[in-house]
Structure formats: C-alpha cells, structure tokens
Structure 1
Amino acid sequence: MREALAGWLFLTPNVLLLGLFVLVPLVWAVVISFQKTNGFGAGEFVGVANYERLISDPLFWRATANTLLFTLIVTPLSMGLGLGAAVLFNSVLPARGVFRSILIVPMAISGVATALIGVLVFNENNGILNNLIRFIGLPSVNWQSGGFAAFVSVVLVTLWWRVGFNMLIYLAGLQGIGPELYEAAELDGANAWARFRNVTVPLLGPSSFFLLILNVIYSFQVFDIVFVMTGGGPQNATSVLVTYAYDTGFVTRDQGYAAAIGVVLLLVTFVFTAVRWRTSRSRDLVE
C-alpha cells in the first residue's frame, strides 16, 4: 500500500499537468465545436451544424487532401531515409560520429527556426537555391508562387527536419541486434541484401511501429513549417488541416468551426493509431 501511494505521489505532478494543459483544453474544444462563437462572450449552441458544414466545405476537403498527400509522402520517405542513414552510420564508416551529429542537428532547433532556414533556401527572389540555379544558367523556380513547387519545398524541409530523428531511433534498434545473428545468416549463405531483409528489417519491427505512429501523427498535425514557409498558399496549395483551422479560428474568428476541424483531426489520428495498434501489436514483440 505504501509503495502504491509513493508511486501515485510521484505521478501526481505529471497527471495534474496533463489534465490542466491537455485534457481540459481538449474537452473545452469539443464543447466549443457545438457552438457558434468568435471567442468573445458566450457562444450560441448550434448542435452539429459545424460538423454538417464540413461536408460541403471545399476548403476543408482541399486541406484534408493536402494533409493526406503530405502524410503519404513524408512518412515513408523519412522512415526510409532514416533507416538507410542508420544502417550506413552503424557500419565502419570514417567520421561516422560527425555525420551522425550533422544529421541530428535539425532536431536541436524548433520547427519555426527550421522553417525560417527553409525560407532562406527556397525564397524565389533571392533564396540560396534559386541563386545557385541561376548561377548555372537554369531558370529559377517559383517556390512561393507555384503551387506544386511550394508543396515540394515544404516536403523537403520537413524531411530535412525529420530524417535525423528517424535515424536515431533506428540506430538504437540496430545496436540492439546481436552480431551473432548476422554471422549465422552469413554462414547459411545469405548475402548482404538477404541479411538486411530477413534479419535487420524484422528485428526493427518495434522501431518501425513506433516511428510509423509518430510520423503519421506529426504529419496530420503539421503546422509550423507550412505556416512560416507558405502560410498555406498559394491558393491553398499547401493548406493543411491545422493551418486551415488556425485561419478559421484566429483570422476569420469562427472558433466554433475551427474547433470542429480540430476534433475531426483528433478522431482521424485516434482511429489510425488504434487500427495500427490492433493490426501490428505482435510486431512490437521480438521473439
């Protein structure tokens, strides 16, 4: 009994902070989603009108499509590049510690700072990349005014920011795999690709499961990089659900509708996580 009490005492500060800064705002957002309010004064209860409005809102569906496309591109690429970097830097590579540090550096800065660096690189008037492109005699790219180019720039900066984290998790998983397994596979005649496919990838199942959930949740909730680099433009080409909710709640001041967008995003994230957990839980255990 005393051990249980001591455990709860240690948990109490975290539980209080979690309730105050996560659960209370979450419940309040759900309440506001059933209201028509601009954030000032008492809101008017409108039932599910905000959710019905989502169905016929073309901007909501455009933001949803952009969010899904962003997730489908960034998640596999960041995991694949992270895995490749982890395998490379786990081998006997000269100055591998230096290369690891370079790849992990973006993790040490915030998303806003990363996006500001992205602006310096991808600015279509005097950005570093366009200056290099013009220097070699090629036409510059409309990174801000072109919809496709703007989306590509956001994806590239996000990958630069996320690959290091994926590499770090995979590197920890690789260092937990015993070398005797590779030796046994090599004695059985397995080449490097066969060892990677039949030994490395299955034993990294827990790491892949963890990273898949985190990368999808991050992609669904991406905001800072998009907001700083493009603001959702041009013509909503890079607008995602969180930037659309922000514009709705703090620019047009329709906070009830913005809260409904946030609740839908929460439900989608929760459903994906639950389904993935149910279908992949066995991969979280190494035999």
Structure 2
Amino acid sequence: MNSIVATDKGRGHKLRRLWKENSAAYLFLLPWLIGIFLLTLGPMLSSLYLSFTKYDMLKPSEWIGMDNYRTMFTNDVHYMNALKVTFTFVFTSVPLKLAFALAIAMLLNMGLRGLGIYRTLYYIPTLLGGSVAISVLWRKMFSADGAVNQVMLSLFGYQGPDWVANPKYALYSVSMLAAWQFGSSMIIFLAGLKQIPYEYYEASKVDGAGKIRQFFNITIPLLTPVLLFNIVIQIIGAFQSFTQAFIISGGTGGPIDSTLFYTLYLYMKGFTSFQMGYASAMAWVLLVIISIFTALIFLSSKYWVNYGDGGN
C-alpha cells in the first residue's frame, strides 16, 4: 500500500513539474485552443446537429433525421443542377488555371530581367480576383457591350454574345475569371522549377533531347510534388467558389441556373429561404465530396508523383 501511495505521489510531482516547465507554452497556445474549440469545432458540431433538423432561425429546431439528405438527392432538382454546375466549373477552371500558371512560371524561369516586377504583376490578379469589384468589372467586360466584344472581338469583325447573360457561355466566363487568378499557383510552380538542377537539361541536350522532350521527361516528373500540392489546393478552392458566381449572376445563379454553384445554392437555402438545417446538410455533403476528391488524389499520387527516390 505504501508503495502505491509513493508511486501516486511521484506521478503527481512529475505532472506538477511538467506543468511548471511547460506553462509558458500552454499560455501561448491558449488563444489558438480557444479559437479551435469555440470558432471551429463548436460551429462544426452545431452544423452537424442542425443538418438532421428543420431549422429556420426563427423557431426552435425540429429533429427530422435523414430527411434533408433524402430530399437533396431525390426531390431537389436545383440541388442536382448545382452539383453538375460545380463539377463542370472545377474540371474546367482548375486545369486552365494550372496550365496558365505553369506556362507563365516557365517563361519567368528563363532568366528574364526584372523578374521580381513580372512576378508581382502576375500575382496581382490573385490578390484582386476574389473581390466584389473585380467580379463586377468582369461582368461588365463580358456583357454584350463590354470590352471583350467591343474591343477584342470587333477587331476581327465578330460581334460576340452577352457572355454572362447567355446560359451557353455564362459558366465559362466565370471559369475564365477563376483561371485568371493563377498567381499563387504560378509562384509555387516557379519555386519548384528553380529547384530542378540545370545540369539535367545540359545532359539531355548532349543526348539530343529537344525542348518538348525535356519538358515531359525532366520538368514534369521533377515538378510532380509541386503539381500535387497545386492540384489539391486548387480543387478545394474551386469547390468553395462563391463570390464570382454570386456577383456575376446577381445572386440568382442565372441565367437558367447556369452559374448556380453549390456554395451559392447553399447560401440561398440558408440565408434567403432560411432553411438552415437543409443548408447545414449541404455543407456536410460538400465536405464529404472534397474529402473524397482529396483522398483519391493522394491515393493516386504514388503512381505519378516523383519524390526523387524512384517514384515512391
């Protein structure tokens, strides 16, 4: 019995000593811990509960089980259209953005003078692209009498349509706006390109390899870790896109739901129709969708990402 008491006292003394030694660290971590529990985990758990309820923010929530999820996939035509629009946007804007970013990064990696100036200029669209002002400007540019039709296409004698008001082209005009914000991906690609030893290119020249062969046999394989990072970040961001579609469509997802993004429809359900329970369910489905895509990308990465150790 005495040995047990002595052991407990020893443990208590050890814990007090550890707390005293690490108290400063715990104090510095306290704001983060408060934030993670009150501002992140708390609202997440609350929204998970609300996703199983009928809640309009005016009356107490009513438990309805899986009804919100069943309605989404069986009775809500607009929801399925929002999924279709969002998937189309993701699979058009992300490849375009990454292609532009890589092309510009390769140009900047050619040893141009004033690299810092060019890098800053190309990064500016990323800083401004998600703002309301730029979305409004983009809507004006792609309208029937906007700069795209009156300045660019008129030079070739072609009168373009009202790109943002035509359901055939509205989504692609938003995709072009997203692709225009390639600055962050470009900076990351440029950093990756600068890590590739130039000796590889010199050796390939001796073997008679041209620029195209160098690109596919040296640049792309050695850039795959950076490409993996950019793909994951851009896909997550594309699924959560909201501002551009909201401003360009006037908050309606039009014309004819052609720009009804998932997040826009979620906003409409939650803050226009006051169906907060339904909106919470939509948010959790979006989390699952993004998680599945992210997991699939990481699972597939072992087949195409080269970390310099033989590909695995």
TM-score over 0.5 (shorter chain): yes
CA distance in 2, matches of 1:196, 1:14: 44
1:24 partnered with 2:45: no
Between stretches 103-112 and 217-226, larger displacement belongs to 103-112
Which residue in the other structure is 1:222 paired with?
241
In structure 1, the gaps of 5 or more residues are none
> Percent identity between the aligned chains?
31
Distance apart, 1:101 and its partner CA? 2.3
Distance apart, 1:5 and its partner CA? 6.5
TM-score w.r.t. structure 2 length?
0.84
Larger radius of gyration: 2
Between stretches 225-234 and 110-119, larger displacement belongs to 110-119
| Preserved CA contact (<8 Å) 2:143 2:165 | no
Which residue in the other structure is 1:286 paired with?
308
Distance apart, 1:116 and its partner CA? 2.3
CA distance in 2, matches of 1:158, 1:251: 25
Between stretches 170-179 and 95-104, larger displacement belongs to 95-104
Which residue in the other structure is 2:179 paired with?
159
Distance apart, 1:109 and its partner CA? 2.4
Distance apart, 1:108 and its partner CA? 2.1
1:183 partnered with 2:202: yes
1:8–1:82 distance in 2 versus 1, CA, 3 Å: farther
Distance apart, 1:185 and its partner CA? 2.2
Residue 65 of structure 1: which of 84, 98, 110 is its match?
A: 84
1:17–1:75 distance in 2 versus 1, CA, 3 Å: same
Which residue in the other structure is 1:269 paired with?
290
Q: Deviations over 1:244-266 (max 9, x none)?
A: 11111111111111111111001
The code of the aligned residue for 1:285 comes to: Y
The code of the aligned residue for 2:89 comes to: F
Which residue in the other structure is 1:79 paired with?
98
| Preserved CA contact (<8 Å) 1:106 1:114 | no
Aligned residues between the structures: 285
CA distance in 2, matches of 1:133, 1:215: 29
Question: Aligned Cα RMSD in Å?
Answer: 2.3
TM-score w.r.t. structure 1 length?
0.90
Which residue in the other structure is 2:136 paired with?
116
Between stretches 92-101 and 184-193, larger displacement belongs to 92-101
CA distance in 2, matches of 1:3, 1:281: 42
Q: Deviations over 1:166-189 (max 9, x none)?
A: 111100101111212222222233
CA distance in 1, matches of 2:154, 2:206: 53
1:23–1:236 distance in 2 versus 1, CA, 3 Å: same
1:248 partnered with 2:269: yes
1:36-115 equivalent positions in 2, closer than 5 A: 36-56=54-74, 57-109=76-128, 111-112=130-131, 113-115=133-135
Distance apart, 1:274 and its partner CA? 1.8
CA distance in 2, matches of 1:286, 1:3: 41
| Preserved CA contact (<8 Å) 1:133 1:139 | no
Q: Deviations over 1:113-134 (max 9, x none)?
A: 331221231233x422233268
The code of the aligned residue for 1:127 comes to: G
**Structure 2 residue matching 1:147: 3-state secondary structure:** coil
Q: Deviations over 1:182-237 (max 9, x none)?
A: 22222233222222111111111111110110111111111011111113111101
| Preserved CA contact (<8 Å) 1:147 1:235 | yes
Higher relative contact order (CA 8 A, sep 6+): 1
CA distance in 2, matches of 1:86, 1:96: 11
Between stretches 127-136 and 139-148, larger displacement belongs to 127-136
Distance apart, 1:25 and its partner CA? 1.8
